[in-house]
Amino acid sequence: MEPYLIGVAGMLLIVAGWIISLDTIPSPRLSLLYGSGSILLSLYAFMLGDPVFLALNAAASGIAFYNLYRAFRDKPAWRRVKRIP
């Protein structure tokens, strides 16, 4: 099997996993780290000329920052800040 097809198959399985897990909202800290890392990996894949990993990491960035948006959209502003006793 051609390596490109193996990469596309892996990408499709990962995206399917994301779709299944969209009903939960991960922590904002995790989403920020994941999104930032995915942006850097997207840049790296672009510099290497790897369209499979570029598409995968661009999608990962989008989902991570969408989850970050959802995390703050669903909480009132006063609940986002941890108060120190």
Is a pLDDT exceeding 70 seen at residue 80? no
Q: 53 and 8 in contact (C-beta within 8 Å)? A: no
Q: 34 and 64 in contact (C-beta within 8 Å)? A: yes
- For 11, left (φ over 0), alpha (ψ -120 to 50), or beta? alpha
Report the 10 Å Cβ neighbour count for 17. Answer: 9
Tell me: the pLDDT tens digits for 45-73?
Answer: 999 999 988 999 999 999 989 988 988 88
Tell me: the pLDDT tens digits for 8-59?
Answer: 888 888 888 888 777 888 888 888 888 898 899 999 999 999 998 899 999 9
**How far apart, in whole angstroms, are the C-alpha atoms of residue 85 and residue 78?**
15
Is a pLDDT exceeding 60 seen at residue 5? yes
What pLDDT is stored for residue 83 in this prediction?
56
What pLDDT is stored for residue 11 in this prediction?
82
Retrieve residue 13's tokens: 């399985």
